[in-house]
Chains A and B, each alone.
Chain A
Amino acid sequence: MKIQKRLYSYYLIWPALLIYSAFFVLPAIIGLYYSFTDWRLDRIAIQFVGADNFTRIFTDDILLLAMKNTFIFAIVTVVGKNVLGIALAVALNLRLRTRNLLRAIFYSPSILSILVIGIVFTPLLRTEGAVNRILESIGLHGLSQAWLTNPSIVIWTIAAVSIWQTTGFQMAIYLAGLQSISKDYYEAATIDGATSWKSFRHITLPLLLPAININVMLTLIGGLKVFSEVFILTGGGPGNASQVFGTIILRTFGEGNWGLGTAINTLLFAFVAVISIPLLLFMRRKEVSE
């Protein structure tokens, strides 16, 4: 029987656990209670209202639009960031002379503050802004849009800006994953006559699954919780066309309807948990360990 000598006692975990409980777990539980009340700015007494807040979320047009936009944003950014991230990682893993420079260039937007991104992109995306001018100059006049003021495409524009900003980060994680794949597999595949697409599909992707796992989780959770990109670029506008959960919670709190705001927050938490935990378990099972 192997006796495992523990270096550190379990008691050392208590301080961190205490702080975590006090600042995360406890407020979450208290928040859960408040979501079922009519907690407001201008009222001292709080009454239990059951699921009223939640029925309101599913019947109010703007709250439903916020839900829809949040999911659109999350899906578009998950797909965009990961597909582009893998593509960039594979491309920048080849033997190029400017490889390191290119890696730095593609990574750099992710270290920019979101405020800077907002200030830079807002004039670029105006109808007379640089993006449309470039499209016109290469003859694609028909593609020029009111990127940030057309209600039907505004959330897609914001998703595109977000993809531009953080794909480099995803690329960095994928590069790390790629470099841990042994070259022997590729050599064996080439000897057996596999095309580069085949070796990508059957060697790279399966062995990259841990990295894909991490990145999909990060981008999915980040996409569902989005706030700053939307707030900085459009503030939820024009009108309410680009509202997402994050911004609508801010607006609801601003209106003084704190119980409803907490309820939306609880719902968001539930969505994130219900979507990401099964996904995590599913992808863990698919991972191939060396």
Chain B
Amino acid sequence: MHSIKKYSTVALAGLLSVSLAACGGNAGPATNNGESAGSGAGEKVTIELAISKSSQDSPFIDKTLLDDFEKETNIRINLQLLPAEQTATVLQTKLAVNETPDLVQYNLASATTDLNLERNFEILDDEEWVSRLENKDVLSAYGHVYSFHISQDTGMQGVVYNKDMFEELGLEIPTTFEAFLAVCEAIKSSGVTPVFMPYKDNWAANIWPAAAFANAVEPSWFDQLNTNQVKWTDVPEFVTALEQQYEVYKKGYTNADVLADSYDMAVGKFLNKEVAMMFMGDWLIESVAEKDPNMNLGLFAIPSGSDPKIGASPLGGQLFIPKQAKHKDEAKKFLAYIATKDVAQKIVNERAYVSNLNDVVTPELPGYKQEIVDLYIAPKKTALTTDAYMLVDRNELYRALQDQFAGSKTAEQVLSTWSDKFSQLMKDKGAEGF
């Protein structure tokens, strides 16, 4: 009897210590910090690069690139992969407790709102590659260069459409809303769902509004908005734009369950030829082309208002250097390395980027991209979407749009709800004028 008790006690203690070890083992990737800080002695330095798991196709973390860099400079880059939905929160925490990585990949526009760009990140104006930049604006905020990228491909937003279907049905690209509805009717009669709306992912409901709003006002209007001189509810075209998007749904031109379908279903829907169009960006075309290069997709401007322009989103996937980084020089070396003519040209060629460095040549672009350049970028028919001007979190706008599709808000109510929330958020930030 006694020995059984002894054995079970030992077993229990062993189990407890094992489970404690399992808990402790989740210490996370931060164990490489504080390694040899000096690189002059030829010792290997390890620096940290934090990036979201959903950005793993970024050219900056390509294994060959990192290996080549390590061979040349003896600086090893350790990747911290952050869970996609928590990227902002994790980075905020790291910045707050001064456990900052040496490099961060993020989007410039969101970094100004989510990560307090001015307070936390290095100004890069004096870096060598800055003088070779074609377009400084896409990497700048508050008058300084804060981020690094070798592409000025900002991702265009509009209506992604299946060109083959349009050709079969003899349809032209609509430039007015009435023409767009007619196109939808024709596609619906052929048995295909005209538009796919995955509004369970509420940000997708803002593609049409963001482009349509930007089409309705001058860029300077947003400066007035951000200083409380005008309000979202002042512009009647905004209400029209929201009503238009809802009308497409009401007329039955979309999937049945818009609030239950999610963005990750989109590629499949296009591949199976179940849908003809979607309000999205050209990144979707790239995703579909990856799966089936024979799919012929294109992009046209959101047909809201007069003389519609393609919506340009602010550039994403840039590298930033936190002010509190322990290895700032090494991090800057990495940026300089990527910016060297040979390395940059290789990346630009591989990814078919529109180069942002004046000594790196833009390669031949895939069909749809060249078309966008010819039809919209060259004749300057692009407009930065509202996202570029926002200094606050837009989640409530997305949710209000969902409410509209759930039937619990009218277009006016969506705008007034968002306007109130926007004022509240700007006031919380201490923005001037609120």
Contacts and interface: CB of A to CB of B under 8 A. Distances in A.
Given A238-B406, A256-B393, A127 B260 contact: yes
B88 interface: yes
B428 interface: yes
B398 to A, nearest CB: 9
Interface in A128-152: 128, 146, 148-151
Contacts of B259: 146, 148-149, 237-238
Contact of B405 (A40, A126, A238): A238
Contacts of A38: 428
A148 B262 CA distance: 13
B399 A237 contact: yes
B402 A255 contact: no
A127 B260 CA distance: 9
B406 A241 contact: yes
Contacts of A79: none
A237 B202 contact: yes
Given A149-B259, A237-B200, A253-B89, A42 B403 contact: no
A253 B425 CA distance: 13
A40 B92 CA distance: 11
A38 B257 CA distance: 41
Interface in B401-434: 401-403, 405-409, 425, 428-430
Contact of B428 (A149, A236, A237, A257): A257
A239 B428 contact: no
Contact of B256 (A127, A236, A239): A127
B202 A148 contact: no
Contacts of A44: 119
B402 A239 contact: yes
B89 A149 contact: no
Interface string A240-262: 11000000000101111100000
Interface string B195-232: 00001101000000000000000000000000000000
Interface in A155-186: none
A255 B406 contact: no
Interface in B99-140: 113-114, 116, 119
B38 to A, nearest CB: 31
Interface string A103-136: 0000000000000000000100011100000000
Given A126-B260, A149-B257, A240 B399 contact: yes
Given A126-B257, A126-B260, A238 B402 contact: yes
Contacts of B114: 41, 256
Contacts of B406: 149-151, 238-239, 241
A149 B399 CA distance: 13
B395 interface: yes
Interface string A37-79: 0101111100000000000000000000000000000000000
Contact of A41 (B92, B395, B400, B403): B92
A8 to B, nearest CB: 16
A253 B89 CA distance: 8
A255 B405 contact: no
Contacts of B430: 43
Contacts of B199: 238
A239 B403 contact: yes
A42 B118 CA distance: 10
A24 B379 CA distance: 62
A147 to B, nearest CB: 9
Interface in B347-402: 392-393, 395, 399-402
A173 B284 CA distance: 51
B428 to A, nearest CB: 6
Interface residues of B, number: 31
Contact of A40 (B202, B393, B395, B428): B428
Nearest to A240: B399
B403 A238 contact: yes
Contacts of B428: 38, 40, 256-257
Given A149-B257, A151-B408, A254 B395 contact: yes
A128 B119 contact: no
A148 B399 contact: no
B50 to A, nearest CB: 17
Task: From A40, A44, A238, name the one whose CB has the most chain B CB atoms within 10 angstroms.
Answer: A238
Task: From A149, A241, A253, A257, name the one whose CB has the most chain B CB atoms within 10 angstroms.
Answer: A149
Contacts of A126: 257, 260
A255 B425 contact: yes
B395 A149 contact: no
A220 B199 CA distance: 33
A255 B403 contact: no
Contact of B260 (A40, A149, A151, A257): A149
Contacts of B403: 151, 238-241
B260 A239 contact: no
Contacts of B92: 41, 256
B88 A239 contact: no
B89 A254 contact: yes
A27 to B, nearest CB: 15
A6 to B, nearest CB: 22
B393 A255 contact: yes
Nearest to A125: B260
Nearest to A147: B260
A254 B116 CA distance: 13
Nearest to A60: B424
A42 B395 CA distance: 18
Across the A-B interface, the 8 shortest Cβ-Cβ residue pairs: A239-B403, A149-B259, A239-B402, A238-B402, A42-B116, A239-B399, A238-B259, A238-B406
Interface of B: 88-89, 92, 113-114, 116, 119, 199-200, 202, 256-257, 259-260, 392-393, 395, 399-403, 405-409, 425, 428-430
25 contacts: A41-B92, A41-B114, A42-B119, A126-B260, A127-B260, A128-B256, A128-B257, A146-B259, A149-B259, A151-B406, A151-B407, A236-B399, A237-B402, A238-B259, A239-B399, A239-B402, A239-B408, A241-B406, A253-B89, A254-B88, A254-B89, A255-B395, A255-B425, A256-B393, A256-B428
Given A42-B116, A254-B395, A256-B393, 16 more contacts: A41-B116, A128-B257, A146-B257, A146-B259, A151-B403, A151-B406, A151-B407, A236-B399, A238-B405, A239-B401, A239-B406, A241-B408, A253-B89, A255-B425, A256-B114, A257-B428
